[in-house]
Amino acid sequence: MEAAAPARTAKLFIAILAPQSLLGEAESFLDEAFGTLDLKSHIFAFTFTDYYQAEMGSDLYRRFVAPRTSISQDALVEIKHRTNEIERQFSLSGNRTRRRINLDPGYLTSAKIVLASTKDYAHRIYLGRGILGDLHFRYEQGMYQPLPWTYPDYRTQEALTFFAELRRLYLRETALRYTTPRF
């Protein structure tokens, strides 16, 4: 039997959904909470579902961002709670009843992309403190492959380009970590 190993590092990313006028402010909050955002996707219109329309309006945009530093995979629970708090700070009434932004954190490794969720479903695994892990991509054949439940906005060219670049940064960082002499 092998001994349990500590959680490996991963690259944190956060998917922002908001009116275009709030994207910059949301990025500033994330920059302060998680460190310098050094990778950002192109901004694109969110036209995939009307799920958020009643709460947030219809003129919404998506952007993926990632801070420079890596995280431990088990930090995703605390990060989801922190992004929920930032959402509350942006809400109209100070609670989640009228969000103006939606923040979905996740992490990327060389083999997979996992999102944090508060909603249970058959393919989601409970991580703790009310947060579930939602596997959305597996890496094979030279790219991240979506799973049947992967959201349509995560399948866009903007998202796939972002994830490919984030993986490149992650692999470079990981290689440096394990090839740098330790004295």
Supply 4's token pair: 């349990």
165 assigned to some structural domain: yes
Residue 120: CATH number of its domain: 3.30.70
40 assigned to some structural domain: yes
CA separation for the pair 7, 135 (Å, rounded): 16
1 assigned to some structural domain: no
What pLDDT score was predicted for residue 96? 55
2 assigned to some structural domain: no
156-172 residue pLDDT tens? 999 999 999 999 999 99
Dmax (CA) for the chain in angstroms is 57
97 assigned to some structural domain: yes
The domain tally of the chain equals: 1
Other beta carbons less than 10 A from residue 164's beta carbon: 12
Q: In which band, very low, low, confident or very high, does the pLDDT at 179 lie, cut at 50, 70 and 90? A: low
Q: Which domain holds residue 148?
A: 9-179
Give the CA radius of gyration of the chain: 17
56-93 residue pLDDT tens? 999 999 999 999 999 999 999 999 999 999 999 999 87
132 assigned to some structural domain: yes
69 assigned to some structural domain: yes
Q: In which band, very low, low, confident or very high, does the pLDDT at 5 lie, cut at 50, 70 and 90? A: confident
Higher pLDDT, 164 or 4: 164
H/E run at residue 172: helix 157-179
Q: What would the mean pLDDT of 139-144 be, rounded to a whole number?
A: 96
**Are the CB atoms for 118 and 11 separated by under 8 Å?**
no
What pLDDT score was predicted for residue 95? 56
Strand stretches in 41-110, DSSP E: 44-45, 61-67, 70-72, 102-108
122 assigned to some structural domain: yes
**Are the CB atoms for 11 and 170 separated by under 8 Å?**
yes
